[in-house]
Amino acid sequence: MTVEIRWLGHSCFTISTGGHNLIVDPFLDDSPVAPVKAADVTADHLLLTHGHFDHVADAVSIALRTRAVVVANFEICEWLKAQGVAEDKVIAMNTGGQVELPFGLLKVTVAHHSSSLPDGSYGGNPGGFVLSLKDRRIYLAGDTALTLDMKLIGIGGLDLAVLPIGDLFTMGPEDSIEAVKLLNPTKVLPCHYNTWPPIEQDASAWADRVRSYTAAEPIVLEPGGTTTL
């Protein structure tokens, strides 16, 4: 079964697999680089890594319009419900937990970051996700620093790791190379860069370093671009 992954700029992705459509960290209407608006996306599941504006900006509008099931930490789920998202449309989780969903098994991983919500309220722990789909395993790191936990996340094999490389708020290109070594994925896709000048990076230079220093294949997309596993 193929998995189609489309980068919508920053840390926003759509993932299509087995008739399911997932959207991760929707930041579209206010993103300087997103190729689509929040009103244009369809989803049956919405995955949120943490509470920062550049990850949840369009979560409420998409959740209310599409009636997608939202997977996020407990505190973000409470924030969503306070804005009208139905109780039975949120799945509240926390670090280390996993849940069987119609598209596969989802596990929440550690992320070294912060997670306040746009209104300043407490956003719980930041996280990442490991998605064990029918025959593909994908790691979405979320916003995080390099962490030795990545050694554990790689056990069992990864077909794809999605890593931030923008630096400043997350790990940068250098640390992402160490992350690839720990995770040992077949492919690695960079995100959280080139959204604004402070997180500008040269993705093709990064890809050269991935090829030189790791066994992984770098997949560099433009916003709107798609890769298939």
Question: Measured from the CB of residue 170, what is the shortest distance to Ni ion in angstroms?
Answer: 7
Among 54, 58, 167, 175, binds Mn ion (CB under 5 A): 54
25 binds Ni ion (CB under 5 A): no
Question: Measured from the CB of residue 50, what is the shortest distance to Ni ion in angstroms?
Answer: 6
CB 160 within 8 A of CB 187: yes
Question: Measured from the CB of residue 55, what is the shortest distance to Ni ion in angstroms?
Answer: 6
CA distance 11 to 172: 14
Residues 43-53 as b/e (b if ≥16 CB within 10 A, e otherwise) read bbbbbbbbbbe
Structure tokens at 202: 């040269």
CA distance 54 to 68: 19
**Site map 136..175 versus Mn ion, x via CB under 5 A:** -------x--------------------------------
**Counts of helices then strands in the chain (DSSP H, E):** 6, 14
25 binds Mn ion (CB under 5 A): no
Look up residue 198 and give its DSSP letter: G
Cβ proximity to Ni ion, 75 vs 143, nearer residue: 143
Only segment of 7-15, 30-38, 95-103, 140-148 that touches Ni ion (CB under 5 A): 140-148
Residues that bind Ni ion (CB under 5 A): 52, 143
